[in-house]
Amino acid sequence: MLPGIDAIAFSTSKYFLNLEMLAEHRNVTYAKYYSGIGQTRMSVFPPNEDIVTVGIEAARKAMVFVEDKNDVDILIFATESSFDLSKSAGIYVHNFLKLKEDCRVFDLKQACYSATAALQLAKSYVMENPRSKVLVVGSDIIRYPPGSSGEPTQGGAAVAFVVSQNPRILGIEPYFGVHTYDIMDFWRPAYLNEALFDGKLSAYNYLKSTDICVERYFKNSNLEISDINHACFHAPFGKMAIKANNQSLKCESIDQTLIYNSIIGNSCSASLFICFISLLDHLKSDLTGNRIGFFSYGSGSVAEFFSGIVSADYRKMMSTADNQAMISDRFEISFPEYELISGNALHDFDRYKNIGSVTLAGIDHNKRDYRTVSL
Ligand code: CAA
């Protein structure tokens, strides 16, 4: 049996901005957003939610499927939205999940690629330690300067998955195609809250990396395009994934992979895996034994194409109704409120609802105060 993903879940903010509102206030035709870039809403994070609180919520949902949490020997927190350059965000998750003390915890960074790096590291670890499990949390919130071309692609979410030797969702195959190339297409200096980017260059390098990685994957695996049943592409915005699919694999199910991302926005490290959840939640046919291709792209840049085989038990491991309820139960915020939140002008931590049971109650002496709340 191939090692891989044994449980998977995601979480996002309780609040969203309708991109129709953004289009109106930015004097852009809404069709450019929903048709041109493939996005209709974006998750907006109030002051009481951050990469840790949504990360805990996603991890809590994935861990429901783990019989003995003491089997988790490593927790990897993959993010490019760190608020602390020293302490790992994963330690807060470890604490609220009450994982055992002899568990390694660390953060991993390489733009949107980091959760894929974590998956590959975790896979190697469980192959050497068959009784162990590794919990990976990919959590990001992305902000662009107001009025910039990146603004309608903002968003955020966390994914959590458990990697084990006998996965009930997806076995990861040993084939891959990797491409690393030094380029300034998207970056965020430690002293800035908003990303800097060259949008056209980033889209160009994403597509070029797709070609290179897919070609290397087929060379390494001796497989052919027809051997890939479905594919998930990192989705900074839906149209980017569609373009990459059109120029490479031409899989028919691409729309089903983008349903959650089109209303969450870019969730960076979580995005590729939320595409996978979206596919499993929305494709009606039985995927057992199907080969899924995955294209991961992290600006800067590292890209990888890899594949996995869907396990027979995958349907029992999905929380489709909960995922859909989480999305449909979100609250729409007004444009002025969006501006307040994104301008960091509001520090009213108690005013907003949480998506899960942990809130950021405040920041005191530069220490983040996370607390359990009743829902
Ligand atoms: N109706 C329908 N379509 C319309 C339209 C209308 N009224 N007006 C414009 N469009 C179409 C355009 O024709 C274009 O389509 P094509 O790309 O197929 O030609 C599309 O809408 C976008 O229009 P523009 O190219 O003019 O849009 P833009 O320059 O304002 O923004 C972007 C596009 C530069 C990619 C922008 O979204 C951006 O800067 N995004 C942030 C960076 C990013 O996400 N890069 C992706 C690769 S990097 C990565 O993947 C890492 C990561 O997560 C950040």
Query: What are the tens digits of pLDDT across the range 247-281?
Result: 999 999 999 999 999 999 999 999 999 999 999 99
pTM of the model: 0.97
- Residue 13 CA to residue 53 CA, distance in Å, equals 9
pLDDT for the residue numbered 344: 63
pLDDT for the residue numbered 11: 98
Write out residues in the chain with pLDDT < 70, as ranges: 344-347, 375
The type of residue at 228 is I
pLDDT for the residue numbered 66: 98
Catalytic-residue membership of 67: no
- In short, whether 199's Cβ falls inside 6 Å of ligand 1 is yes
Give the distance (Å) from ligand 1 centre to CA of residue 28: 13
- Residue 143 CA to residue 102 CA, distance in Å, equals 35
- In this structure, are residues 363 and 369 in contact, taking their beta carbons and an 8 Å threshold? yes
pLDDT for the residue numbered 345: 56
pLDDT for the residue numbered 374: 79
Domains in the chain, CATH or no CATH each: 4-168+315-372 (3.40.47.10), 171-314 (3.40.47.10)
Give the distance (Å) from ligand 1 centre to CA of residue 16: 21
- In this structure, are residues 156 and 45 in contact, taking their beta carbons and an 8 Å threshold? yes
> For residue 185, which atom of ligand 1 is closest to its CA?
48
Instruction: Give the helix ranges, DSSP H, for the chain.
Output: 19-26, 30-31, 51-63, 90-96, 114-128, 199-221, 238-247, 254-257, 261-264, 271-282, 320-328, 335-342
pLDDT for the residue numbered 346: 55
Q: Given ligand 1 and candidates 149, 201, 208, 264, which is best to mutate, with the most ligand atoms within 8 Å of its CB?
A: 149
- In this structure, are residues 294 and 276 in contact, taking their beta carbons and an 8 Å threshold? yes
Catalytic-residue membership of 80: yes
- Residue 358 CA to residue 311 CA, distance in Å, equals 32
pLDDT for the residue numbered 350: 78
Residue identifier of the C-alpha nearest atom 23 of ligand 1: 36
- Which among 94, 179, 230, 234 is annotated as catalytic? 234
Angle at 31 between CA 25 and CA 36, to 5 degrees: 115
Place of tokens 């458990």: 162
Q: Is the peptide bond before 301 cis (omega within 30 degrees of 0)?
A: yes
The type of residue at 256 is Q
Q: Is 4 left (phi over 0), alpha (psi -120 to 50) or beta?
A: left
